[in-house]
Amino acid sequence: MEYIPVIILVLSFISLLLIGVPVAWSIAISSLLTMMVSIPTLPALTTVSQRIGTGLDSFALLAIPFFVLSGQLMNKGGIAHRLIAFAKTLVGSLPGGLALINIISAMLMGAIAGSAMASASAMGSILGPEMEKEGYSKEFGAAVNITSSTTGLIIPPSNVLIVYSLASGGVSIAALFLAGYIPGILTGLFLMIVASFWAKKKKYKVGKRSSLKEVVKTFIDAFPSLMLLVVVIGGIVTGIFTATEASAIAVLYTLVLGFWYKEISVKDIPQILLDSCGTTAIVMLLIGASMSMSWIMSYENIPQDISSLLLGVSDNPIIILLIINLLLLFVGIFMDMTPAVLIFTPIFLPIITKLGMDPVQFGIVMVLNLCIGLCTPPVGSVLFVGVGIANTTIEKVVKPLLPLFVSMIIALFLVTYIPGLTLWLPKLFGL
């Protein structure tokens, strides 16, 4: 009898996903069905509704709509063009130069906009046609764009890290933001190495070397955009403002920047606000539904059961972390990142705490792991955006994607087993 709630939760959730029910509603309905096993229908409905509401009752979550809005303003404000121009002067003359430009620009754009899909959309639209014109295959261009776009979810500011802070019971957002820099840059470097080797093998065209004057000019042009990272992260780390306050400052900064670059006008604002509201509504519904499922799992003692099961398999931290990583890789294939973080953090956090792993490190490991899921079918949102913009198919993109996947997995395991990669910067700043 004790396993019936678990069976109903898992089977109903998977069944709803298979018949095409949206993820948020699949989570909410399967949570409701599970509660109805333990208590009558009316209290079950009340409990799930209440948990969806209280799940959104968090000051930290106010940062998400603001960061979404700042990302929309950045996307419309001509930031991508300036970042690409700057990246072109740095790596344009190396083998696979345009692919490397895509990766560096995506790292910068993703970090500034805080959205993998915004980065994939911007980079794919601008660099995709240029790469094709220079002889690159559209499938290779799409693969590079898809994988590199996820680095901005690790390099702060990142909405997903804020969600992890909420799910983990209050891990420092400032510490998580600082912890994301080295793993994010490391992942980007591995992607660049693979892209460069692939481009050299395929003998893609190499661009001309930029002069120091061109580098300085493009850097000055991109400097105001890059300063957003300094303002936001610097303010959070030094304690001048919280992550939520930083998100509001980011909106003000990007709005001023958009008008300064003359890429945004007053008539563009209503559409930007509407787009931001739509994205925020989707994210918040996912968060609310996921928080209800997380509470129900706790009510049914599922995290404790899984913890006992895993620790019963082995007491070797290396083996347990390997199993958790494999489980999260599997979860990322079928579930969007936000609900996955909210549902599985309460399950795995007690386990890694018993193993002596820092919750900050685990947050980065979890997000980096789930980033790979964004690039895989059937729920890989970034995969579908990248393939759609490149006007190709998933089947054709798989071949150039595979070596890039391998590089991301290598980065994941390095971050998992070398704590210094994530904890060095937070410790340096006393967090």
Share of the chain above pLDDT 90, in %: 10
- Report how far residue 203's alpha carbon sits from residue 148's, in angstroms, rounded to the nearest whole number: 21
* Whether 379 contacts 284, CB under 8 Å: no
More confident residue, 23 or 45: 45
pLDDT of 378 reads: 64
| Predicted confidence (pLDDT) at residue 309 exceeds the cutoff of 90 | no
pLDDT of 332-375, one tens digit each?
877 778 788 888 888 888 888 888 889 999 999 999 998 888 88
* Whether 102 contacts 128, CB under 8 Å: no
Global pTM exceeds 0.85 = no
Terminal alpha carbon distance of the chain: 45
Nearest-CA neighbor of 163 among 370, 10, 330? 370
pLDDT of 421 reads: 92
- Report how far residue 96's alpha carbon sits from residue 206's, in angstroms, rounded to the nearest whole number: 6
pLDDT of 260-298, one tens digit each?
888 888 888 888 888 888 878 877 888 888 888 878 877
| Predicted confidence (pLDDT) at residue 305 exceeds the cutoff of 80 | no
Tell me the CA distances in angstroms from 135 to 45, 99, 192, 372, one per residue in order: 58, 12, 18, 27
pLDDT of 197 reads: 87
- Report how far residue 86's alpha carbon sits from residue 214's, in angstroms, rounded to the nearest whole number: 9
CA 303 to centroid of chain Cα atoms: 24
pLDDT of 2 reads: 61
Question: Tokens 């787009």 belong to which residue?
Answer: 275
pLDDT of 110 reads: 63
pLDDT of 407 reads: 92
225 sits in which H/E element: helix 212-237
Q: Is the dihedral of CA 32, 36, 42, 43 positive or negative?
A: negative
- Report how far residue 168's alpha carbon sits from residue 157's, in angstroms, rounded to the nearest whole number: 18
pLDDT of 379 reads: 64
pLDDT of 363 reads: 92
| Predicted confidence (pLDDT) at residue 163 exceeds the cutoff of 90 | no
Share of the chain above pLDDT 70, in %: 95
The arithmetic mean of pLDDT across residues 192-211, rounded, is 80
DSSP 343-410: HHHHHHHHHHHHTT--HHHHHHHHHHHHHHHTTSTTT-HHHHHHHHHHT--HHHHHHHHHHHHHHHHH
Q: Across the chain, what does the average pLDDT equal? A: 82
Residues near 235 by beta carbon (within 8 Å), at least 6 away in sequence: 241, 245, 246, 249
Band of pLDDT at residue 145, cut at 50, 70 and 90: confident
- Report how far residue 91's alpha carbon sits from residue 148's, in angstroms, rounded to the nearest whole number: 15
Taking the domains of the chain in order of start, what are their residue ranges? 1-55, 60-282+301-428
pLDDT of 80-115, one tens digit each?
678 777 877 877 677 777 788 888 877 876 666 566
| Predicted confidence (pLDDT) at residue 1 exceeds the cutoff of 50 | no
pLDDT of 213-263, one tens digit each?
888 888 888 888 778 778 877 887 787 887 788 888 888 888 888 888 888
| Predicted confidence (pLDDT) at residue 122 exceeds the cutoff of 50 | yes
